[in-house]
Amino acid sequence: MYPNWILQRAYLTPLRAALTNEGQTWTFSEVNELALKRARQLTALGIQQGARIAIMGPSTPNIIFMMYASMHLQCELVMLNRRLSAAEIAYQIEDAAVVTVLVADEDAEKLPQNAPQLLFSEIEQGAEREVTVAKEWSLAQTTSIMYTSGTTGFPKGVRQTVGNHQASATASVFNLGLQAEDVWLCAVPLFHISGFSILVRSLLYGNKVHLYEQFDVDAIMKNMVNGDVTHMSVVSVTLERILHALEEKNRKASTRFKMMLAGGGPVPVDYLQRAGALNLAVAQTYGMTETSSQTATLASEDAMLKIGSAGKPLFFNQIQIVESNEKGEGEICIRGPHVTPGYIGRFAQKEATIDGWLHTGDIGYIDEDGYLFVVDRRADLIISGGENIYPAEIENVLLAHPAVKEAGVCGKNHDKWGQVPKAYIVLKEEVSIEELLDFCKQKLAKYKIPKEINFVHELPRNGSNKLLRRKLKEL
């Protein structure tokens, strides 16, 4: 058993700043008191300890207090991506079999009509009922559930336990170091593992989080120049925007700023060179939802020495390559205390690991110095602005249209987003591209909608009639 993170942090450093947003700051004691109040209000509304509930809303202090309240109640918290379509959200709510959805008032219209829900305002104005909050948590206790796209087209609900998050946060601090005055700027969504892991690290390390609801490049640049923050999580597209803003204003980050942690795919060499000219340290990472954030990280001082590498595994983690070819390239497998114990819903019976190893589906190799290089992220995965998009999800939607006989989707390189989806379609009957795009808009998040649709006579397939997505780009 381990201490309840929120209670323990409020006990150890009650007066230390925990959270800053739009000029307002809360101490760890104040954050805990608000979380306990929300826990009592949720209890009064019938939420039982240990229940599985979902949550959706923008990245504001209110959603953090709701998350921490749910953690106090030891609920399994399903993080809903507010950028998804109503159909995608409906699938996750049904698959997770949640008792209700805690939803910010402004997001209520995004939920399917029949979804059980509690508005934030309803909770915040409600009565309270006393509840005994556990002072200790089990490492096996599920804290969060996040959906990750599957190669079948059906997203999988990934369980992330107290032990998973704790191991990830501990390995990260072993890698980055820690000082009491460190401040992590959070401008990534809290429903993503990149955002939620920042909150976990804040509770375990006792560091302040400087929270942004949306990415505001000018305000973020000022924070970095003024020395208000020391760390930040980015993807390539947001890193470039920050670099451009600094270059345009002829400014550099404060010497107090320590590190950009970059995920969501490799960072272009040009960005690394520009960051270096601005004395901005960038550490590239490799991780996934199933590993509660980072598995490997490339130290910033190695960025130009090991171009394209994701670095070495963090302290508790192991990486091996299996079924490698003559070049040493094979499937990346991961083992460690940060790896999920399994899935829920449709994939509840699927084993997360084989003999303790998570088979990622990613192809890579480890060089003679022990550095990991990811050759192809999950084979067909499209990474667009840090968002993971599986072609099968888009193909399933397109195939649901009566005019579509076959559909294949691959990634197309894009200067701003890294990649965007591109579709190839074999038709059964005449239909316009505009009609197909409108159909997709009803079913898919905006970033998943194909940016280009091409009509073809046939799709490339192998001997067993399996679609060869890598061959699509040759059409």
Helix ranges (H only) for 28-128 are 28-44, 61-72, 86-96, 120-124
Q: Determine the pLDDT at residue 235.
A: 87
The answer to whether the CB of 304 falls within 8 A of the CB of 279 is: no
Q: Determine the pLDDT at residue 378.
A: 63
Q: Determine the pLDDT at residue 464.
A: 45
Q: Determine the pLDDT at residue 39.
A: 98
CATH T-level topology, domain 382-474: GMP Synthetase; Chain A, domain 3 (3.30.300)
In sequence order, which residues have a C-beta less than 8 Å from that of residue 398 and are 6 or more positions away?
A: 404, 407, 409, 423, 425, 436, 439, 440
**Cα–Cα dist 32/25, whole Å:** 13
Q: Determine the pLDDT at residue 149.
A: 65
Helix (H, G, I), strand (E, B) or coil at 115: coil
Q: Determine the pLDDT at residue 269.
A: 82
Please report, in tens digits, the pLDDT of each residue of the chain (475 residues total). Answer: 899 999 999 999 999 999 999 999 999 999 999 999 999 999 999 999 999 999 999 999 999 999 999 999 999 999 999 988 888 999 999 999 999 999 999 999 999 988 999 999 999 999 999 999 999 999 999 999 999 865 556 899 999 999 999 999 999 999 999 898 999 999 999 999 999 999 999 999 999 999 999 999 999 999 999 999 999 999 888 898 999 999 999 999 999 999 999 987 778 788 888 999 998 999 999 999 999 999 999 988 888 888 889 999 999 999 999 988 888 888 999 999 999 999 999 999 999 999 999 999 888 899 999 999 987 666 677 888 888 787 878 988 898 898 998 899 999 999 889 899 999 999 989 999 999 999 999 999 999 999 999 999 999 876 445 677 878 888 7
Domain span(s) for CATH 3.30.300.30 in the chain: 382-474
CA angle (319, 324, 327) in 5-degree steps: 110
Domain span(s) for CATH 3.40.50.12780 in the chain: 173-376
| φ, ψ at 422 (rounded to 5°) | -130, 130
Instruction: Render 338-385 in DSSP notation, one character per residue.
Output: TS---EEGGGTTS-S-BTTBEEEEEEEEE-TTS-EEEEETTTT-EEET
In sequence order, which residues have a C-beta less than 8 Å from that of residue 128 and are 6 or more positions away?
A: 37, 40, 41, 43, 44
Domain span(s) for CATH 3.40.50.980 in the chain: 2-137
Q: Sign of dihedral through CA atoms 440, 442, 445, 447?
A: positive
CATH architecture of 2-137: 3-Layer(aba) Sandwich (3.40)
In sequence order, which residues have a C-beta less than 8 Å from that of residue 164 and are 6 or more positions away?
A: 143, 291, 292, 337, 338, 339, 340, 341
Reported pTM: 0.85
**Cα–Cα dist 391/138, whole Å:** 37
Cβ atoms within 10 A of the Cβ of 351, count?
11
**Cα–Cα dist 255/144, whole Å:** 35
CATH of 173-376, one of 3.40.50.2000, 3.40.50.12780, 2.40.50.140, 3.30.70.20: 3.40.50.12780
